[in-house]
Amino acid sequence: MNPGLLSALAERFRARFGRPHTVAAYAPGRVEVLGNHTDYNEGFVLSAAINYGTLFLAAPAADEQCRLVAADLGEETHFPAAAPAPSAAHFWSNYVAGVLAGLGRRGRIERGCLAMFLGDVPQGAGLSSSAALEMSSALAFCALYGLRLTPVELARIGQAAEHEFAGVKCGLLDQISSLFGREKALVLSDFRTLEVSSVPLGEEACFLMCNTKAKRALADGAYNERRRKCEEAAAYFAAVLPHPVQALRDVSWEEWERYAPNLEPLAARRAAHPIGENERVRRGQTLLREGRLADFGRLMFESHESSRRYFENSCPELDFLVDTAAQIPSVLGARLSGGGFGGSAVVLARPRDAEAIRQALDRAYLRQFGQPCDIRVIVPAQGARVLQGGAALAQEAP
C-alpha cells in the first residue's frame, strides 16, 4: 500500500465528516496469471494480489443512515444501514451497499456509518478494483460492527454484491485473490473445494500490466453469455460422458476433442477455453515449483491464443500487445488478464528486463493506436487486512 495513502485519506475523512475515522481496512487488486474463466467452472486459477489497492475508512454514525463518499470522485451517497439497495445514480456505491447487505444477513446491522474510500487500482484495467473495494469495505464493516467471518465467507459476500447489486455473474477469483495474497508468491485456488495454497514465484520474476484503456463492460451481457454457454456445455458432457460431470472442470481436453463435434458449435468453442485452461494451470504450478519460468511463460501465450480462438474475449488492442510481446526476446510470457473484452495484458519478465520491455511495448502501442498504453510493474503483494480499529483478518493459512 502507498505509505502516504492512510494519512491523506484520514485528513479528507475528518474534513468531510468533522470527526476522525475509527476503522481502516485495505484490500489489494489482483492479477490473473493463468486460469481464465475457470473459477465459475469449478476449476483452478493462478493469480496474485498486487501492489495496488483500495483503502476504506469508517466510523459509527449517530443515526441509521450510511453516508458513503468516493474520495476520488468527490461524490457522496447515503442509504439505510439495515436495508441497502442498488443505486442507478451512484453505481460505484453498489459494491459497498451490496457488501453491507450481505453482512446484514449474517448479523443484525441497524446503526449507520460514515465511510470514505480511495484506491489506486486503475479502473477498467482488468485488475479488479471492484473486489478491492468489496473486500476493504467488508473488513472495515466487520471491525465496525463486531462481526467475525472467515475469508471464504467474505469472498462469497463480495461475489453476491457483484451478482445482486452490480449485475455481473462473476466467480470468486477476484475476492479470493485479494484476501489470500502473499508477497513473492502466486495464489493457487481450487474453486470446487475452495482450497487455497501459495506457489512461490521467486525473486527472478515480475509482471508488467499493460492497460489498453479499451472499453471494458462485463455487465453488458458478454460475460454472462459466456457463462451460460459453459453451463450448457457442462450439461451436455454430463449426459454423454461415462463419469460424473458437475462442471467443465470434470472434462478433459481429450474428451472435448472426441465429443465436441456433437455439441452446439458456439457452446463447444466456449467450453474449450476453460477446459484447456484447467490443464494449463495444473502444469503451470508444477513448472513454477521447479523454477521453470520460461516454460511457464509459454503456457501464458497458449492461454491467450485460447482466449482469442475459443472464448473470443480478447480485442485488437490486447492481441497487439501479446503479439508484440512475443517478438521481444526477454519476454517470458504474455496474455490477457481478467474477464477480457478490453482491460489489460499481463507480461511475465525478469526484473532486470522490465524497463526495456516497458519502453518497447509503449512505443509500439503508441505507433499502432495513437495513444499511450499505461504500463506498470506489478509484484505479488500481501492480501487484504484491517489496519486500524480491529483484529487482523484470521486467514486460513494457504
Q: 206-378 maps to which CATH number?
A: 3.30.70.890
* CATH fit for domain 5-199, picks 3.40.50.261, 3.40.1400.10, 3.40.50.880, 3.30.230.10: 3.30.230.10
- Helix/strand number for the chain, H first, E second: 11, 12
**Percentage with pLDDT > 70 across the chain:** 96
The pLDDT of residue 338:
82
DSSP 132-183: HHHHHHHHHHHHHHT----HHHHHHHHHHHIIIII-----SHHHHHHHH--T
Phi, psi of 119 (to 5 degrees): -140, 170
The pLDDT of residue 91:
95
Mean pLDDT of the chain: 93
The pLDDT of residue 218:
52
The answer to whether residues 123 and 129 touch, using CB atoms and an 8 Å cutoff, is: yes
pTM of structure: 0.89
The pLDDT of residue 391:
59
The answer to whether residues 131 and 175 touch, using CB atoms and an 8 Å cutoff, is: yes
Rounded to an integer, what distance in angstroms lies between the CA atom of residue 33 and that of residue 361?
A: 19
The pLDDT of residue 341:
86
| pLDDT tens per residue across span 223-246 | 788 999 999 999 999 999 999 999
Cα distance from N-terminal residue to C-terminal residue, the chain: 22
Q: How far is CA 24 from CA 59, 138, 338, in A?
A: 9, 11, 28
The residue extents of the domains of the chain are 5-199, 206-378
Q: Which of 63, 72, 174, 319 is catalytic?
A: 174
Q: DSSP 3-state assignment of 305?
A: helix
Residue 174 annotated among the catalytic residues of the structure: yes
Q: DSSP 3-state assignment of 233?
A: helix
pLDDT lower than 50: segments of the chain = 219, 394-398
Quick one: 385 exposed, middle or buried, by C-beta within 10 A (0-12, 13-18, 19+)? buried
Q: How far is CA 106 from CA 99, 114, 148, 203, in A?
A: 11, 21, 10, 41
Sign of CA dihedral 304, 305, 311, 316: positive
